[in-house]
Structures are given as C-alpha cells and as structure tokens.
Amino acid sequence: MELAVYNIDGSKTSKTVSLDEQVFGIKPNDHVLYLAVKHHLANKRQGTHSTKGRSEVKGSTRKLRRQKGTGAARIGDIKSPLLRGGGVVFGPKPRDYSFKLNKKVKRLARKSALSYKVKDENLMVLEDFAMDAPGTKKYLEILKNFDLENKKTLMVLPEGNHIIQVSARNLPKARVVAAENLFTYQILYAEKLLVLESSIEKIQEVLLKK
C-alpha cells in the first residue's frame, strides 16, 4: 500500500511511502476497539465516589413510632433509607475500575484503528520537519495549510520532540505523540492523523513485534 508524502506547506511531494498491510490494511476488529477504549477510560476513573449507608448516617436509633395500632406502615429509626436524610441503599463505594487487557489485544486494537484511518482517508503522511523554537503560530500555520485548524488532529513523531509538543499544547484540538506511545483512544479521537514519514517505520516496528 502506497501513500503520498506531503510537505508541511500543504503541497504534495514526489515521494511515496509504503505501508505494511499487516498494520495499516487489516480487517478492523470492532469488539477489540471497544475493549481498548473501555480499558483506557476505565483506567482514568478515580473511583472515589462514596455514599453512606444507614449504619453510617448520623442520627438517633430510637424507633419513631410503635409497631402496631397506628394504621400506618411500620417504621424503624430516622436513618431508614425510606426517609429523607436517611442512608442510601446499595450506593456506590470507592473502587478501582481498571482491568487487565492483553498486549496482543492492545496491539490488534491499534492496528484496527490505523486501518480505519487509512480506509477512510484520514491518515496523512508528512515529510519530516524540525522547528528551531517553540511557536504556536508556526504549528497552527501547518494545520492551516491542510485546512485542519478547526479539526481534531494527532501528529505522530518518530520520537519525543519537546519543541513541537510545546508548540501544539495550547491548541485545544491538536495533539502530538511519539510513535512508541501511540494508543488506540488517541487514534480514534482524532479526525485526522498526521504521521511523519520516519514515524511509519517506528509504528510498524512496534506493532509487528512477536
């Protein structure tokens, strides 16, 4: 599979890059994508929610009225879940929502997400470039060259680059990540994937590991 390589000024170069079908051209597995997204969101949850049961609510344990003879339903103390201010029945308690996901499943999910991007023509390969100093305007200018300033974008670098990452961090819809740290949720969240030419080899190296 061949894709054209673009310059950061928005023009198409004469170069093309070859994509491995085992990474960018597989039949996407939707269930695995669901598991990967669920795994990511579950791991982000703090799980600090907490409610008080009737044994934890402050109040008297005196029986409010006698059991029989009033014509009304029997009732216990003021901490009853049936009364306002009483305890909560089966309410949430602090818990850990994270769960384990196998490496092979995570890898398949990333391949599926990348394959969807290629299939929908939402993956663009850019020629490698460098920035001398951080500049949000410079980074925004690159996005404007492709009419992507108002879209959610993810730029994939071959390795961490502080200057480019700092340049993009003030743009709410722009994200930058190193190829080895790329994960499924990021890929699916972005409307357009901007992959540097030398990042292709790095992505394939990571996802084709046995």
Secondary structure of residue 177 in the 3-state scheme: strand
**CATH 3.40.1370.10 location in the chain:** 2-46+99-207
CB-CB contact of 207 with 23 (8 Å): yes
Q: Which amino acid is at 83?
A: L
For residue 154, the cross-strand partners are 175, 193
pLDDT at 209: 78
pLDDT at position 48, please?
Answer: 95
**Strand pairing report for 174-178 and 153-157:** parallel
Whether the pLDDT of residue 12 is over 70: the answer is yes
For 59: left if phi > 0, alpha if psi spans -120 to 50, otherwise beta; the answer is: left
Average pLDDT over the chain, rounded to an integer:
93
Q: What is the pLDDT of residues 19-48, one digit of tens each?
A: 999 999 999 999 999 999 999 999 999 999
Residue 26 CA neighbour count, 13 Å, CB half: 16
End-to-end CA distance of the chain: 22
Over residues 51-92, the pLDDT tens digits come to: 999 999 999 999 999 999 999 999 999 999 999 999 999 999
Pair 127, 9: CB distance under 8 Å = no
Is residue 50 within 8 A of residue 94, CB to CB? The reply is: yes
- Supply the pLDDT for residue 15: 87
Q: Is the pLDDT of residue 109 over 80?
A: yes
Average of per-residue pLDDT across 156-169: 92
According to the model, what pLDDT value does residue 139 have?
92
pLDDT value at residue 120: 92
What are 164-168's contacts with CB under 8 Å, separation 24+? 164/131, 164/139, 166/134, 167/131, 167/134, 167/135, 167/136, 167/138, 167/139, 168/136, 168/139
- How does residue 136 score in pLDDT terms, banded at 50, 70 and 90? very high
Q: What gap in Å lies between CA 34 and CA 10, rounded to an integer?
A: 34
- Give the per-residue pLDDT at 210: 65
Write out the two tokens for 201. Answer: 């080899």
* Share above pLDDT 70 across residues of the chain, in percent, rounded to a whole number: 100
Q: What is the pLDDT of residue 160?
A: 87
- Is the whole-model pTM more than 0.95? no
Instruction: Supply the pLDDT for residue 24.
Output: 92
Superfamily of domain 2-46+99-207: Ribosomal protein L4/L1 (3.40.1370.10)
